[in-house]
Chains A and B, each alone.
Chain A
């Protein structure tokens, strides 16, 4: 299994100026920020790109202001949310509409994305080849044939591999859930 680094450890390395840490930070949270822009606020690609870059620019500049390194994910979510709202208000100023989404809907999407990030962390812990197979199938929407070709494994075995990998992720999630439960 892959060695997993907590969010707090990663933030701490970023603050210490570790040159690889920022790359890992962007890698870890890019999907999350992208999903908030797209699923939470339904921004166009152009607007989502602007917000995405601004989120990471501000995160880079203000990481030292974060009170608790553990709280980086909610901090990023809040930052992204605020910048998405600003962007929608700017759009509405130029093209009046009722573009601003319902707050409760956004809260629901963010809660789902938090669950998705927990699953993602479990998948990272399980590591390759499961990570790559499940990522290609579920996140990149690739066919069995494409996955088989790319990973040089028979396409006919992909379905059973996906099933086994999902089982491993579930076991990892169950283990985490047991570990975090008070005894």
Chain B
């Protein structure tokens, strides 16, 4: 990978447009989402009524608990509930 002329450099730069800002932001918020997920899992383990709410309507139960039902939280919680 060397010896590119200016035209090739321009062509290669065009191959990497920015990802949509919202996608990038959501990915950057993963550490916070991970912490929220841990709290939700801990609560679900201790609270049978909350577990039932999660099974009935996962996204609504997460939002009602005061957390953003991001795709990461929803998909990971769904996997955990299916595994139980």
Contact = CB atoms under 8 A, between A and B. Distances in A.
A61 B79 CA distance: 15
Contacts of A169: 9
A13 to B, nearest CB: 13
A51 B65 CA distance: 27
A118 B24 contact: no
Contact of B17 (A26, A31, A123, A167): A31
B82 interface: no
B4 A139 contact: no
Given A138-B14, A139-B16, A119 B23 contact: no
Contacts of B12: 112, 115-116, 119
Contact of A120 (B13, B19, B23, B76): B13
B19 A34 contact: yes
B19 A119 contact: no
B6 interface: yes
B17 A139 contact: yes
Contacts of B10: 134, 138, 166
A170 B76 CA distance: 44
Interface of A: 19, 22-23, 26-27, 30-35, 39, 49-50, 52-54, 56-57, 60-61, 112-120, 123, 134-135, 138-141, 163, 166-167, 169-170, 173-174, 176-177
Q: Ordered nearest first, which 3 A-B pairs have the shortest CB separation? A: A177-B2, A34-B19, A138-B13
